[in-house]
Structure 1
Amino acid sequence: MKQEFDAIAAQLQVYFDGLYHSDTLQLRRVLHPQARYVCATDEALVNIGMEEYFPIVDRRASPASRGEKRRDEIVSIEFAGPKTAFARVRCAVGERHFTDFLTFIKTNAEWQIISKVFHYDLRDAQAAQAN
């Protein structure tokens, strides 16, 4: 199981790198083409697919280009079976600090995220830069 844990941890690094650099080529390596992106933090539920999500990432300035400090962390990885896992991670983009619940599936010998359900809190961007 250590090998599978390490494989998911490696995919999470690709995920964090893709978010930090706003690089959808990297994100496409880890997010399954049929993955869902879901957030209920605001009044309106956000529930979109990758064809809607990737253009959002492509349009935004990356945290790297703004000189933001990296704030990504794997909180936990759990396995439901040999082809299903769950990761809880934290990361930040600007003043938004995210807690992501990422469901992984293993297809064609590769782990990919099939759902990203998240919550975010707003924090002062200047304070975040200082920490």
Structure 2
Amino acid sequence: MSEKIAHQDAYRAIATALEDYFDGLYHGDTVKMRQVFMPQAHLFSAVDSPMLDWSLDQYMEVMANRESPADQGKTRHDRILSIDVVGPQTAVAKVECAIPPRYFTDLLTFVLHEGRWRIVNKTFHYVVHE
């Protein structure tokens, strides 16, 4: 398989994983989110002080205990800004999404593990719009 075709296949697979990520965020679906993330994934944000540093389990607990944007009847605000396939097993995606009133820009590091592209790191920034 040529490198160009491999990158195209990776791009499509990551875009599909991102759709699951967006659906999980919007619906507060922790089962779907756990399928997109590696179990040892970590999340970071320096917006607030002290810097947020969560394990996947901490993140899933927060998701499970908040009302989802879907349950609030909020409009979806998600889009892929870029996907950079940097190697056969590594990629970085930049996306925008929202859990109003917070609007996020997420940097998501993906690895290809056992045939699936999964997130190992999420670093995010957000702004609040009332």
TM-score range, shorter chain: over 0.9
The structural deviation recorded for 1:118 is 0.2
Report the residue type matching 2:57 in the other structure: E
Count, aligned residues? 124
Partner of 2:54: 48
2:21 pairs with 1:38: no
Partner of 1:90: 96
Counterpart in the other structure of 1:29: 35
Percent of matched pairs sharing the same residue: 42
Kindly report which structure 2 residues correspond to 1:1-131, keeping only aligned pairs within 5 A, or say none. 1-124=7-130
Q: CA RMSD in A?
A: 0.6
Runs of 4+ in 1 over 4 A off after TM superposition: none
For the Cα contact (< 8 Å) 2:94–2:107, is it kept in 1?
Answer: yes
TM-score by length of 1: 0.93
The CA deviation at 1:103 is 0.2
Give the whole-Å Cα distance in 1 for the aligned partners of 2:9 and 2:90.
Answer: 14
1:45-87 Cα offsets, whole Å, 9 max, x none, are 1111111111110000010010000000000000110000000
In structure 1, stretches of 5+ residues that fail to align are 125-131
TM-score (norm 2): 0.94
